Amino acid sequence: MKENKSKYQLVVNHVTDGISSGKYAIGDRIPSINDFRTEYGFSRDTVFAGLRELSSKGIISSNQGVGYFVQSTEVSKGHRVFLLFNEFNEFKEDLFNSFTANVGPDVSIDLYFHNYNRRVFETLITGANNKYTDYIIMSGKFEGLAPLLERISGKVFLLDHFHSELKGKYSSVSQNFAEDTFGALSSAADIIKKYERILMVQREAKEPEERYDGLVKFCEHHDIAHDYISASREIERKDLFIVVKDRDLVELLKQAASQNMVPGTDFGIISYNDTPLKEILSGGITTLSTDFKLMGRTMSELLRKKGVITVDNPWSLNLRTSL
């Protein structure tokens, strides 16, 4: 049963006021649960709720069987954020920099990576529980996470890509890969229809399969042949390749050069995730991309809002000569 917040706030205030006045310094032991119960007449659950909030902000830490000790004197910080990314690349760097630039000075952030390893993912979250006020998580394709996330003591946010079973349960900013792929391709349907076949190159199982769902929907709507391949192949005229990874884009361009084929003339290319290099590579590579800077800014806004809010981050198709 949840305790009255105004009650357990007295426990929080006792410690933070003591730190501010100099009564408690780093390493000092604070009153025990029984001490607080005696002083305020609270239940054990109420006292523990206050201590848990202090722990989530990194102000105190516990030593099992010994007690609670002051860990930090930075009592002014309103949010202590556990930020878990799947991996770090230039797009996630844009997201991270945008988020940190917009959250404000009262927020501290610890950044972690699970690199698509389920064991690492669960270990990091379990180890971080009760140590932060907010948990922002990129879970990707991992399924069956509800029991793990429900045990988290702070507020949970989902970021970028997560399994549909979690949709609507937590505030989120994410990409709608299926609908956005379909919508972006539809916006250039008059150009794309000159191609006879569309091939999506996506070699890694960790990548969202919903991209291909969006492609299938578009191709069926316009009666265009399509296929899903794990590596570039010999190019045929009137093929359109949609590539997810930049290394596959490079391999495709090398293959085109060996066959004396020109992107945008003999065949087409659409690459996921825009970069400045793609603006000039081979005369310009058409890209299908979300705005990672906007994603970071939107998440910084959700951090301060109550309730469950879900936001689909917008995509854009950047037309260049490769299409």
> In the beta sheet, which residues pair with residue 228?
200
- pLDDT for residue 1: 37
- 139 CB neighbour count, 10 Å cutoff: 22
CATH classification of the domain holding 159 = 3.40.50
Dig out the tokens for 52 from the structure.
């848990």
In whole angstroms, give the CA distance from residue 300 to residue 112. 17
Mark whether 61 and 21 lie in a shared domain. yes
DSSP run (H or E) holding 249: helix 246-258
The pLDDT assigned to 2 comes to 44
Domain end, chosen from 70, 93, 123, is at: 70
- Choosing from 49, 70, 91, the residue where a domain stops is 70
CATH at 58: 1.10.10.10
Pairing of strands 60-63, 67-70: antiparallel
Q: With respect to residue 169, please indicate whether it lies within any of the assigned structural domains.
A: yes
Instruction: Give, as one character, the DSSP assignment of residue 29.
Output: B
Give the domain extent around 132: 82-176+303-314
Which of helix, strand or coil describes residue 56? helix
Copy the structure tokens of residue 288. Answer: 């299908």
For residues 289 and 279, give the distance between their C-alpha atoms in angstroms, rounded to a whole number: 13
- Written as tens digits, the pLDDT of the chain (323 aa) is 344 556 788 888 889 888 877 899 999 999 999 998 888 888 898 899 889 888 888 889 988 888 999 998 877 667 889 999 999 888 999 999 999 999 987 788 899 999 999 999 999 999 998 888 899 999 988 999 999 999 998 899 999 988 888 888 999 999 998 999 999 999 999 999 999 999 999 887 777 888 889 999 999 999 999 998 887 778 999 999 999 999 999 999 999 999 999 999 999 999 999 999 999 999 999 999 999 999 999 999 999 898 899 999 999 999 999 99
| Strands, E assignment, the chain | 60-63, 67-70, 79-85, 107-113, 134-137, 155-160, 171-174, 197-201, 225-229, 239-243, 268-272, 286-290, 310-312, 315-318
Determine the Cα–Cα distance for residues 136 and 84; give it in Å rounded to an integer. Answer: 6
With CA atoms as reference, report the closest residue to 242 among 283, 187, 184, 190. Answer: 184
Are both 198 and 278 inside the same structural domain?
yes
Same domain flag for 211 and 276:
yes
- 164 and 227 co-located in one domain: no
Residues 275 and 181 in one domain: yes
Q: Could you say which DSSP state residue 164 is in?
A: G
Supply the pLDDT for residue 202: 85
Residue type, 108: S
Q: Are residues 157 and 245 in the same domain?
A: no
Unique residue bearing structure tokens 């979690």:
166
| Domain total in the chain | 3
Same domain, 284 and 182: yes
